[in-house]
Amino acid sequence: MGNIFKMNEEPRLEVLIKGSGDILNLNDVNFIGKSTCLIEYIVNNRKAMGTGFLIELPIPDSNNPMKGLITNYHVLNYKILKKIEISLNFFLEKKTLALNLKQKRFIFSDSFIDITFIELDNKELEELGINCLEIEEEKFLISNGLTDSFIVQNPNGILSFAQGKILKRWGFNLYHSINTIEGSSGSPLVLEKNNKVIGVHKSGMKQSQYNIASNIQVIVKAIRNIYNNRRKITNKLSLIKKARTPLSEEEINELNNHGLIQTNSPYIFQSPSSFLVSSLWFYRTNHAWYWTPKEPKINNNEEYECNWLIIYPGGSLRVIGGFYHGQEPAQRNIDLIHWLESTKLKYLV
């Protein structure tokens, strides 16, 4: 096992191999490590920590990117964002940034895809002088579970990295074989071939060899949908709060008229099955509708385990993962998906 550096040591980052694959060039690993930070804040008189990293998102487009901090919702969420002072510690660069959340900035925070993004201004970025990581915008192939990738981890102020494979897609998630350290949620999942981010690691899967990351390409779609419609939202807190509940009786009737029936969850609606048409389930978040052909176990609070697909302009209608992988829904449900796409944020915030 290679060395790792601790907070009270001279910053360095060497190889900690966990998984298969060739040893990476340390310059590549250091490049990722420099943009990875330890997030620290005090909440309820207790110190909380987590991992995050600087990222450049092609929002509104690749020529005009938005830069900022990205991590998991369960590391840093909207419930505490306006109540705390956050310190970002970049140990390889020996730099710290105190993040002022009271100033005007774009914030996205959503529990469903487990992501929080906080925009940083030019002054903050110049103060740090650290490059933001780029994302993989092109659809990357997962060939027989042999897609080489790695994670740079920063739990509790200890920076290391581990290698592994991207095994498969499952809705907006990526399953990978990288053996992460406890506390590594919010770490960048990176393609070895080009050092571009393909996901944000968030958890291990119960009773399984898989670990899970949110797909960065879906994250961009989610954030862009709010960014492009932000001027239509009068309550700025709606940008970062959960979808409102319950919907009005009029709104529920409108959804019913288009074939959507509310379930026991205020967030989930069903398009019932009929002759030669399978059921679909739809989830309303604060930024987009999602759909899946897999029935959510609503009473067991396991709706997150379905292969949910984001409804987004120009998005694919092919199922990702599960029994119907690669298939498109019946025309009735395709029309329903396109209608929900046209409603934008009407039923969401």
DSSP per-residue codes, 12-57: -------SSSPPPPHHHHHHHHHTEEEEEEEETTEEEEEEEEEEEE
Domains held by the chain: number: 3
Does residue 15 form part of some domain?
Answer: no
pTM of the full predicted structure? Answer: 0.88
CA-to-CA separations, 40 to 35, 87, 201, 256, 264, in angstroms, rounded: 16, 5, 18, 45, 38
The verdict on residue 223 lying in a domain is no
Q: Do both 37 and 121 map to the same domain?
A: yes
pLDDT in tens, 155-187: 666 778 888 888 889 999 999 988 887 778 899
From 23-37, 205-219, 235-249, the region with the lowest mean pLDDT: 235-249
Confidence at residue 146, expressed as pLDDT on a 0 to 100 scale: 55
Same-domain check for residues 30 and 65: yes
More confident residue, 251 or 150: 251
Q: Given a cut of 60, is residue 36 above it in pLDDT?
A: yes
Whether 277 is covered by a domain: the verdict is yes
Question: What domain range is 271 assigned to?
Answer: 242-342
Tokens describing residue 111 = 């529990």
Q: At 76, is the pLDDT very low, low, confident or very high (cuts 50, 70, 90)?
A: very high
CATH no. for residue 89? 2.40.10.10
Same domain, 338 and 267: yes
pLDDT band at 3 (very low <50, low <70, confident <90, very high): very low
Residue 91 has pLDDT above 50, yes or no: yes
What percent of the chain is modeled with pLDDT above 70?
Answer: 82
